[in-house]
Structure formats: structure tokens, C-alpha cells
Chain A
């Protein structure tokens, strides 16, 4: 009888979680580029709502401890220029910029830049042995390409469509207010969504939930996303 007691007591007092050690691997990363239209027409209410939305994206991602370590956000703005205003950072390090609107709509160059930084980021992940999820680009615009050569836009469109087809990226387009939805659907592979009003906060809450879902789920190909309440197809 007594013989049986000792090992049981041992097992009870020394839990497995005290003796089993874990491998130290870097967190897998879930990169997301926000490709934002900051042209003149966005100035005013729209850009303010967008800035609010970015703050809620940060808060939402940080509510999920795994997502805050796995989701990496980068922000590219496009107007008459294209700027990487935020290079990739994990959500816990993300401090949303305050954006202002001015100039034209260099969307083609913006798309190129987004695909460029994704390619670079993947190379960095691979060089450092970091596993990653399929990158997302979330393009938000209230217009259509403007102030660029047709050739630039065509090239960007073609590259985007090749990258989608080869699963290098999942590219989502959101149109705001007077966005030219039919023009946008010629550029993107996935059907662009129309934002209801300036409901950026709800949209970014959704984006956070989707990225959180992606960052811990396993899928065959398509990402199963939460229902969209903030927009329409």
C-alpha cells in the first residue's frame, strides 16, 4: 500500500508544467499593410474618422495578447506622394500616426509600395527563421487613381493580380463615400467593399478580429472571416 503513495504524492506536488520546458521560438507573424488614401478629398471628416479608426485598431489588437504579439501593422499613405508612415511593428508597439489629407491619388505607386514592403518583410522573416501567415493589404480610398500615368496603374494592377493568384498576398479594398467602386473592382481581385458612412471604427474592430482569427487558426486556403457589418459589397 505505502509503496503506491509516494509516487502519487510526487506527481501531485510536482506538476508537469514545472518540469516540461518549452522550445523558444519567435512568435509567428501576421503582417498587415494599411494602404491609405490621404488625398485632398479625404481631408476633414473622413480623415478624422480614419484616425479614430486607427486608434481603435490598436486598442482592439492589444486586447488579444496573442494578436498583439503576432499581428504586424505597417501604414502606407498615398496622395501626390507615397510614404511609409509606419514600418512593420507588432501591435503592442504600434502608435497610430495622425494623418492629414492633401494632393492627388497615386494609388498605383501605393500598391507597388505595399507589395514591395511585403516582399522585403517576408525575406526578413525567412532570414530570421520566423514563421508567418499570408500578408494582408487593406486599401482604403474615397476615389480612384488620379495624377498617375495609366501605365503605372496598369502595371500595379497586373502585379497585384499575379500576387493574389500566387497567394503572395490577400488584398482587400474598401471604398469610402464617393469612391469609384467599378474602377476599384478592375484593380483588385477581391470584390471591393463599400464602407457604410464613415464607420471606420467598426471596420477596424472587424479587421482586428479577423487578424486575430487568422493569427491562430488553420485554414485550407480561404480565411473564414467574421461577418461584415460595416460595409456592403
Chain B
């Protein structure tokens, strides 16, 4: 068999589960995620974490992620167009802006303030040759290159206090968004919300934790049966080992290029 003709394609698994503290208080999971695999092997993914203090954080998170993916899906992007740094940056920022406007419109429609729909937002575009991320607030996006290096595309953005971050609707948030372009061949991408941050990152050196991500990347790369694999991912996120350490909502998107 001639394997050289096989084109690698993205395999993606994603899940959001409700944190135990929210379950206890009968609250909804405030996290949301959305992703799509576009033609030409382009993966677009978004995660958002609704603020605990926002009444409609969940709604804001859902609208933000869906708007981003809808927006990116109709731009006709190709690997060729993504070769232009400026275009990538403006795509990411336009997607952020689209999400912001959609959240604002929803707030008006619901007769609420945009702050009531506050959420963080991480947008990722990945091809076999590059990854680009824009992020407002905390959470984390990583990529693994072909040499097995784990790259922190973004890092959590929180102020002096770990529970105080900025949100998509925070005035001026769009100007302070982290934007990162990585132009190397990559084989994996991972995006998560802050619920997993303390498990997935070594905070003292501010670097992602390889033994957290690599088994997950192996897992998604070999996941033949998507439904079952997703069930397993959810089981993992609900496992005692995790809930003993965090009671927050958890969202994880993991992707692998595989043949």
C-alpha cells in the first residue's frame, strides 16, 4: 500500500462538562465550545467560559462560539490565503468583533446588559502548517509540532487575582486580546477553558504540562469511533481524579492530524 498518497486530516474531540460546584447549585454549565473542519484541511475551533457573575454567561458563551465558527466558515479561507499574516490577524479580530456584536445584540434583545452575557473567548485556526489563536480572558491554547515540542500558543490572562479576568464584553477587551501566529508544521492542537488550567499548566513557569496533553493527543489521534471516544473524554472530565481538584466547568478541544 502506498501510504504517501494518504492526506492527513484533522480528528477532533471536544466536550464541555458542568463543574461539580455548578451541579450542586443546580446551575448550568457556563462553558461552550464549537468547531468545524473546513475544506483544505483547516480546523476552526472556539471555546468560551461564561462568567460566574453573569446571569446569562452560558448564553453569551454559546453565542460567541457559534458566531465565531459561522463567521470563519463563510470566509472562503484556504491554506494559501492563510499564508498572509495580516489576513490571519484580521480574520481572528473580525471573528472576535462578530462575536462581540452578536452578544451585544442578544443582550439588547433580552433587555439585558452585555455584562450579563460576559464570557471569555478563545478562537483557533489550524492547518498542518500553522496555528493562529486569538484569546480574551483566561484559558489556554497549545500546539504540538512534528518534533514533539509543546508550544503555548496563548497563556491565561488574569490580573492580580486568579478569579478576575477580562471578558469579551469588557470595555476595551478587543484591544487587549492575545493574538498569536505559529508558522511551523504541527500535528496537534489543544484548547481549554480555565477549569482545567491548574491541571494542564505549570503555573510557576507558565508552561503547558506535556504529560497532560500528550496522552490526550495520542488518544484523539487513534480515536476511530468518534462517539465512543467522546463518551470516554466526558467520562475522563467527570472522573474523581479531576473533580477532586477542580469544581469548575471544564471544556477541552483536542485535535490531531492523522492518516
Chain A interfacial positions (CB closer than 8 Å to B): 4, 7-8, 11-12, 15-17, 19-26, 28, 65-66, 129, 131-134, 167, 214-224
28 A-B pairs in the complex with CB atoms less than 8 angstroms apart: A4-B225, A7-B222, A7-B224, A8-B228, A15-B232, A15-B236, A16-B215, A17-B239, A20-B212, A21-B211, A23-B198, A23-B200, A23-B201, A24-B202, A26-B203, A131-B162, A133-B163, A134-B160, A134-B161, A216-B247, A216-B248, A217-B52, A218-B51, A218-B52, A220-B115, A220-B165, A221-B164, A223-B53
A166 → chain B closest CB, angstroms: 10
Which residues from B are CB-within-8-Å of A129?
203-204
Contact A16 B162 (CB under 8 A): no
**Given contact pairs A217-B52, A217-B53, A218-B49, A132 touches B244 in the complex (Cβ within 8 A):** no
**Does B180 sit at the interface, judged by CB under 8 A?**
no
Interface residues on B, range: 35 or more
B residues 230-251 with Cβ under 8 Å of A? 232-233, 235-236, 239-242, 244-248
In the assembly, what is the distance between CA of A223 and CA of B138, in Å?
A: 18
B residues 185-207 with Cβ under 8 Å of A? 194, 198-204
Contact partner of A19 (CB less than 8 A), chosen from B170, B202, B215, B233, is: B215
20 further A-B pairs in the complex, CB-CB below 8 A; given A20-B236, A133-B162, A217-B163: A7-B224, A11-B223, A17-B235, A17-B236, A17-B242, A22-B245, A23-B198, A23-B212, A28-B162, A66-B247, A129-B204, A131-B158, A131-B162, A215-B163, A216-B246, A218-B49, A219-B53, A220-B115, A224-B52, A224-B53
Contact partner of A15 (CB less than 8 A), chosen from B53, B54, B239, is: B239
A214 → chain B closest CB, angstroms: 7
Which residues from A are CB-within-8-Å of B240?
17
- Measured CB to CB, the nearest residue on chain A to B158 is A131
- Measured CB to CB, the nearest residue on chain A to B199 is A22
**Does B98 sit at the interface, judged by CB under 8 A?**
no
Which residues from B are CB-within-8-Å of A7?
222, 224
- Measured CB to CB, the nearest residue on chain B to A168 is B160
Contact A219 B51 (CB under 8 A): yes
**Does B151 sit at the interface, judged by CB under 8 A?**
no
The 4 closest A-B pairs by CB, nearest first: A21-B211, A129-B204, A217-B52, A16-B236
Which residues from A are CB-within-8-Å of B199?
22-23
**Does B167 sit at the interface, judged by CB under 8 A?**
yes
